[in-house]
Structure 1
Amino acid sequence: MNHDTPLSPRPLSHLIEVQRRVLSADQLRAHGISAARAAAQCRPGGPWQQLLPGVYVLHSGPATSEERLHAALLYADRPTAGRAASVPAQGHAPDEPPAAVVTGLAALALHRFSCAPPLLALDRIDVLVTRTRRLRSTGWVRLVRAHAMPGAEMIAGLPVAPVPRALADAVAVLDDAETVRRLLTEAVRQGHTEPAAIVAELTRARLLSRAHVVDAVDALLAEGRSIAEDRLYAMVREFGLPAPLWNVDLRLPGGPHLGGLDAYWPEQGVALELDTRAPRQGQEEQAAAWSRCSAKREALERLGITVVHLTPKKLRDCPDQQATVVRTALMAAAEREPAAYVVVLPR
């Protein structure tokens, strides 16, 4: 710090380094610094500066990205009329969820998205707060209000919105179609999350009425499907499962079409389907899609064909368990009546 007067009577040793540089007015008061003295320290040429209303950085040079993030969270969690500060020191009690969470492009940068701008390049930092907060956006901090706060992830000691929510808040203020497409695609390609979680968050945010977002979602779903198929191929290969027939259609001899499958083991009568559906339809459309899926499964099982459903998330997180599920279904074929003869065609 660039001043010689210690911030006693309360020592600063209990604070981490960045918290010794960025403090709120309430925290300064707790350390014996009055509002008048803080204002004097921030005069032109003084050793401090006021970054945001009620938030100070205790040096005169440009604020670092880390300092700006801490300042934004301090501002968003400041007390307002009828609300006391949750914790006198920066942060929150271990048993309390954070009252303010970094979201939007700043959160994506913290999640290490390569196509998100670096933190220092951002003109604005988005902070998620509950919708009941009366505080307003100010300067380079935009408050985003949530009906329900998501579970925050701690990154570099900061509470950060999970990727699907951070993406939705970023997309809400982005008009560039290419940027939106790259952000959504990277989220899936780099394994941050699954398409269904992103689409669900975009739907909740009512962003699927925008043409450029719909186009980006179409690219996202295609990317997610391709990645899930690659994981499925890798699972069969790495865990020594018998090679199936890939991407086939089944139909009864001279009869109706039974449906498409991602993998089929004809000798064992085991079918595998990847559930890559994303909830972007209305409730009626979702119900109709689920009904078609159930009808297809029931038709195959009446013919003695065992149907295994796998999700992209499970393939990503626990491929060994999913391989065990498939292997168990294949081994159980020896104890069942043979499945009915069906015609197998390439899809």
Structure 2
Amino acid sequence: MNHNTPLSPRPLHHLAEGRRRVLTAAQLRAHGVTAAQANERCRPGGPWQQFLPGVVLLHPGPPSSQERLQAVLLYASRERTTGVPAQPAGDEESGPREPEAMITGLAALTLHGFTATPPLASLNMIDVLVPRTRRLRSAGCARIVRGADLPRPEQLTGVPVAPVARALADAAAALTDAAAVLRLLTEAVRGGHCEPAAVVRELNRARLLTLPHVVDAVDSLVAEGRALAEERLYRLVREQGLPDPVWNVDLRLPDGSRLGGLDAYWPEHAVAVELDTRAHRRDDALWSEYARKREHLEHLGITVVHLTPRKLRDSPEQQATVVRTALRASTDREAEVHVVVLPR
């Protein structure tokens, strides 16, 4: 006996009456269904239908959205052809394993709760992310997306789904409409799904930042992320009881030389806050500019506190403590050089 030999036959109606209405050919064999029986039941007008290669829908009508997701994942699984169940993602003894397949792209974003994406039932194609080494072609509604270093999937509605940043990158790769890409990126930030930096990192990893319509969308995304970070900074000062700073100022030397812009500044303490909202692209030129400005200001006796949007979101109390400590440490200390504070 080998893995192609069916087990003792059982009445076939018990399969369609079960909870799982989508099975692979290998799973059917395990239930005692021969290839001939499966083919007979999948004939036109029969009680079953072959929905994808090697994947059978155990009823004649159209599949539900959940059944389409299950069918796509089964098509992308190794179990479809080998009959060997997928291994778990990892355990303490063997260490983490690479995920086998997960829903990504527009379908994943819909599962994450995006409103700018179509309902699952309206999607002609469902993207499924698999390891780059898999030999698998797109078929039917299943569009294969290959990648190295697959992320850890999230379980949504009982199926493995790519994290938002990765799903956004995979969706953007299949879109050519700049407005559509911008809507997705904007909702990701406004909806609190992920930070702009995480999105840009994934777009960069997917080598999409050379596409004009993606670059334009990213520029708008960074502006959106900065506005959101500024709002969080205002809220932090107000809710954490910090003294009021002057907001969005430009510092200059008495001779008019520009020192740079700051998001918040306490002149009586010579303490400044600057939001780090860099887009993490392929070079660190902007970070070098931040570093040069910070070094120059601190040489003049001005303490500069860098805050990131993610830290403001995840640990506002801790960030308030950092700022408060800087203010207290500056008691009775003035900047070594008088600076002119101008609105930005």
Q: Same fold (TM over 0.5)?
A: yes
Q: Is residue 189–residue 195 contact of structure 2 (8 Å, CA) maintained in 1?
A: yes
CA distance in 1, matches of 2:222, 2:155: 28
- Residue matched to 1:316: 313
Q: Is residue 51–residue 71 contact of structure 2 (8 Å, CA) maintained in 1?
A: yes
- Residue matched to 2:108: 107
- Structure 1 residue matching 2:13: 3-state secondary structure: coil
- Residue matched to 2:263: 262
Question: Is the counterpart of residue 22 in structure 1 residue 3 in structure 2?
Answer: no
- Residue matched to 2:13: 5
Q: Is residue 80–residue 134 contact of structure 1 (8 Å, CA) maintained in 2?
A: no
Instruction: After TM superposition, give the deviation of residue 291 of structure 1 in Å.
Output: 2.2
- Structure 2 residue matching 1:135: 3-state secondary structure: coil
- Residue matched to 1:190: 191
- Structure 1 residue matching 2:255: 3-state secondary structure: coil
Q: Is residue 111–residue 156 contact of structure 2 (8 Å, CA) maintained in 1?
A: yes
- Residue matched to 1:339: 335
- Which of 304, 307, 315 does residue 307 from structure 1 map onto? 304
One-letter code aligned to 2:191? Q
Q: Is residue 80–residue 135 contact of structure 1 (8 Å, CA) maintained in 2?
A: no
- Structure 1 residue matching 2:114: 3-state secondary structure: coil
Q: Is residue 15–residue 58 contact of structure 2 (8 Å, CA) maintained in 1?
A: no
Q: Is residue 54–residue 80 contact of structure 2 (8 Å, CA) maintained in 1?
A: no
- Residue matched to 2:145: 144
- Structure 2 residue matching 1:322: 3-state secondary structure: helix
TM alignment of 1:29-44, pairs within 5 A: 29-44=29-44
CA distance in 2, matches of 1:123, 1:169: 16
Q: Is residue 73–residue 101 contact of structure 2 (8 Å, CA) maintained in 1?
A: yes
- Residue matched to 2:325: 328
One-letter code aligned to 2:334? P
Instruction: After TM superposition, give the deviation of residue 86 of structure 1 in Å.
Output: 5.7
- Residue matched to 1:159: 160
CA distance in 2, matches of 1:274, 1:230: 11
CA distance in 2, matches of 1:93, 1:192: 24
CA distance in 1, matches of 2:140, 2:99: 22
Q: Is residue 86–residue 92 contact of structure 1 (8 Å, CA) maintained in 2?
A: no
One-letter code aligned to 1:74? L
Please, what is the CA RMSD of the aligned residues? Answer: 2.2
CA distance in 2, matches of 1:185, 1:289: 22
CA distance in 1, matches of 2:110, 2:153: 15
Instruction: After TM superposition, give the deviation of residue 99 of structure 1 in Å.
Output: 0.3
- Residue matched to 1:212: 213
Instruction: After TM superposition, give the deviation of residue 331 of structure 1 in Å.
Output: 1.8
State the TM-score, normalized to the length of structure 2: 0.89
CA distance in 2, matches of 1:7, 1:245: 70
- Structure 1 residue matching 2:289: 3-state secondary structure: helix
| Percent identity of paired positions between Structure 1 and Structure 2 | 64
CA 160–144 in structure 1, closer or farther in 2 if over 3 Å, else same = same
- Residue matched to 2:128: 127
- Structure 2 residue matching 1:139: 3-state secondary structure: coil
Instruction: After TM superposition, give the deviation of residue 94 of structure 1 in Å.
Output: 6.0
Instruction: After TM superposition, give the deviation of residue 338 of structure 1 in Å.
Output: 2.6
Q: Is residue 276–residue 307 contact of structure 2 (8 Å, CA) maintained in 1?
A: yes
State the TM-score, normalized to the length of structure 1: 0.89
Q: Any gaps of 5 or more consecutive residues in structure 2?
A: 1-10, 92-96
CA distance in 1, matches of 2:89, 2:40: 32
- Structure 2 residue matching 1:40: 3-state secondary structure: helix
Q: Is residue 7–residue 32 contact of structure 1 (8 Å, CA) maintained in 2?
A: no
- Residue matched to 1:200: 201
CA 176–93 in structure 1, closer or farther in 2 if over 3 Å, else same = closer
Instruction: After TM superposition, give the deviation of residue 225 of structure 1 in Å.
Output: 1.0
261-270 or 336-345, which deviates more: 336-345
CA distance in 2, matches of 1:310, 1:186: 23
The superposition leaves residues 67-96 of structure 1 with CA deviations (integer Å, 9 ceiling, x where unpaired) of 000110010013588xx46626xx846644
One-letter code aligned to 1:265? W
The superposition leaves residues 79-132 of structure 1 with CA deviations (integer Å, 9 ceiling, x where unpaired) of 588xx46626xx846644530011110011111110000000000000001111
Instruction: After TM superposition, give the deviation of residue 252 of structure 1 in Å.
Output: 2.0
CA distance in 2, matches of 1:30, 1:80: 12
Q: How many residues align?
A: 328
CA distance in 1, matches of 2:213, 2:177: 8
Question: Is the counterpart of residue 173 in structure 1 residue 165 in structure 2?
Answer: no
Q: Any gaps of 5 or more consecutive residues in structure 1?
A: none
Q: Is residue 25–residue 80 contact of structure 2 (8 Å, CA) maintained in 1?
A: no
TM alignment of 1:82-121, pairs within 5 A: 84=82, 87=85, 92=88, 95=91, 96-121=97-122
Q: Is residue 22–residue 55 contact of structure 1 (8 Å, CA) maintained in 2?
A: yes
CA distance in 2, matches of 1:307, 1:245: 14
